[in-house]
A = this chain, B = another copy of it.
Amino acid sequence: METLVNNISIEKSSSSKIGSVDFDNLPFGSIYTDHMLVCEYVDGDWERPKIKPYANLSLDPASKIFHYGQSIFEGMKAYKDEDGQAWLFRPEDNHARLNISASRMAMPELPKEYFMEGLTALLQLEKDWIPTTEGSSLYIRPFMFASGVGFHASPADRYTFLICLAPSGPYFGGKVKVLIEEKFARAANGGVGYAKAGGNYAAQFYPTKLAVEKGYQQVIWTDDNTHEFIEEAGAMNIFVRINDTLLTAPTNDRILDGITRKSILELAKAEGIQTEVRKVKVSEVVDAAQNGSLKELFGAGTAAVVSPIAGFGYQGKDYELPELENSFAKRLKKRITDIQYNKVEDPFGWRFKV
């Protein structure tokens, strides 16, 4: 059966998997809802998006996605409030960033109305999949890849954009210990680190595996040239609290311009917390850890929201962070999730009604 909503054709699945899902014990990103949005770029133009039953994709083995990593993605969440109303958080910023990534990867930009209307129509259809358990949400994965074929190392002539949904629990369980990287790097100067390009993530797996083998959960990325400056925490932006000042690195072409990062910065200012956006030296963090002025380290990103770091390793030594009464991480996490779940006023206009 096919219906039309917002000019988007909807082919409904004949049955739902929702009854088989344990919403009280959700993993992160590995259960998918009944439908997905699909939009094809053919002959220099995007076709209208369609909503279809979630199903396998059929692709020529010569599709460039398999060979040249021409792919980008976004990560978002839908939240349900106590009245059962669904909300998004700054979704237009995800659309804008998708197109920044697209441009760097020589892929076509996606029209805003296809993104916003497609997303809204899909979420309205899958509303029952948004979890309501504390700490859970519906993770949203918009992504685009080269479906055009050829073994010539050049951009494809066809692309596919999809949105899939995964009801998800927390990204990390337990305390997070991190390793400050001294050898590997995630991004080059003049490279694609500021794009949410698929290949950036696979490149992190091996160094992260080595860190995990040493007992850490994540890598703190430093600049590839000197390894003297702190840049990101795994796939999150990083915040450093020294005494009562909150520091984070300025974005550049190696660092993803995180929506959580910029929201946290605004929230901190509104809370009267002193913030500084400037390059942060590893040595400064180590010194602060040694003299007791390092109060907190935390990652910030959509998946993990705010992820407090319990300790870090650097040059073979381990440093522990104190457990604080008045943690900025806790306070800011509560501020941002209260807005996301529509528990408080939203003076910034960040919430978006589905």
Contact = CB atoms under 8 A, between A and B. Distances in A.
A30 interface: yes
Interface string A1-33: 000000000000000000000000000111010
B198 A192 contact: no
A57 B54 contact: no
A153 B235 contact: yes
Contacts of A28: 151-152
Counting chain B CB atoms within 10 Å of each CB, the highest count among A32, A36, A57, A197 belongs to: A57
A96 interface: no
Interface in A138-153: 139, 141, 143, 145-146, 149-153
Copies of this protein chain in the complex: 2
A29 B166 CA distance: 37
A66 interface: yes
A326 interface: no
Contacts of A191: 184-188, 191, 203, 224
Interface in A184-226: 184-192, 197-206, 208-209, 224-225
Interface stretch (A68-76, A116-124, A270-278): A68-76
Given A30-B152, A54-B61, A199 B188 contact: no
A8 B166 CA distance: 39
A198 B105 CA distance: 12
A69 to B, nearest CB: 3
A106 interface: yes
A151 B165 CA distance: 10
A183 to B, nearest CB: 5
B198 A69 contact: yes
A59 to B, nearest CB: 5
A147 to B, nearest CB: 10
B202 A200 contact: no
Contacts of A106: 202, 205-206, 209
A67 B153 CA distance: 20
Contacts of A204: 153
A146 B66 CA distance: 9
Contacts of A201: 67-70, 153
A67 B206 CA distance: 16
23 contacts: A29-B62, A29-B150, A57-B61, A62-B166, A65-B66, A67-B73, A67-B143, A68-B202, A69-B69, A69-B198, A105-B202, A106-B209, A139-B151, A141-B151, A146-B202, A151-B166, A187-B191, A188-B189, A191-B224, A192-B203, A197-B202, A197-B203, A224-B224
Given A69-B203, A146-B202, A187-B191, 16 more contacts: A29-B152, A30-B62, A56-B59, A66-B73, A66-B198, A68-B202, A69-B69, A70-B201, A75-B151, A106-B209, A155-B209, A185-B188, A188-B188, A197-B203, A199-B202, A199-B203
Please give me the 4 A-B residue pairs with the lowest Cβ-Cβ distance, nearest first.
Answer: A199-B199, A29-B151, A69-B198, A69-B199
